Amino acid sequence: MGDQKDSANEAWRDRLSAEQFHVCREKGTERPFSGKYVHNKEPGQYRCACCGELLFDAAAKFDSGTGWPSFWEVAAQGKVRLLEDNSHGMQRIEVSCANCDAHLGHIFPDGPPPTGQRYCINSLALNFEPQARD
């Protein structure tokens, strides 16, 4: 079983930058306000940096002031998986891609209406696809 995981990790290392691998496969976190999508306000869609799965729509993005891209909802049910995370002496809920299990960030109950949720997501875990212009 360890050989399969090692093989999968090597494949991800070949596809991702070192920083993306650390965030997405080792559950790391980028520094606040360092991500390329923190201040992005363009219409479009955010996809998983690992597998390309559609995760968030820019229409659900808001400025949380936390230093990470924040969304009040996912693009569609079943796109992300929520897992209990008790690391670093904190109780949080981890958000991962339901398709490839990439670590994306965490969810908190302090977001805006209508959901009251804040999906706090690492820019390194996302690829932005701008909305096509007519």
Asked if residue 15 has pLDDT above 80, the reply is yes
Is-contact 114 60, C-beta < 8 A?
no
> Quick check: is 50 catalytic?
no
How do residues 42-61 score in pLDDT, each as one tens digit?
999 999 999 999 999 999 99
The phi and psi torsions of 21 (rounded to 5 degrees) equal -60, -45
The pLDDT confidence band at residue 20, using thresholds 50, 70 and 90, is very high
User: What total of structural domains would you count in the chain?
Assistant: 1
How do residues 77-100 score in pLDDT, each as one tens digit?
999 999 998 887 888 999 999 999
Q: In Å, what is the CA distance from 60 to each residue of 9, 21, 43, 113?
A: 32, 26, 10, 10
Query: What CATH number does the domain containing 106 carry?
Result: 2.170.150.20
pTM above 0.85, yes or no: yes
> DSSP per residue over 17-71, as a string?
-HHHHHHHHH---PPTT-STTTT---SEEEEETTT--EEEEGGGEE--SSSS-EE
Q: Which of 24, 50, 97, 120 is catalytic?
A: 120
Q: Record the tokens describing residue 97, joined without a space.
A: 């891609």
Q: Record the tokens describing residue 88, joined without a space.
A: 């670093």
Task: Print the domain residue range for 36.
Answer: 2-130
pLDDT at 8 (0 to 100): 73
pLDDT at 9 (0 to 100): 78
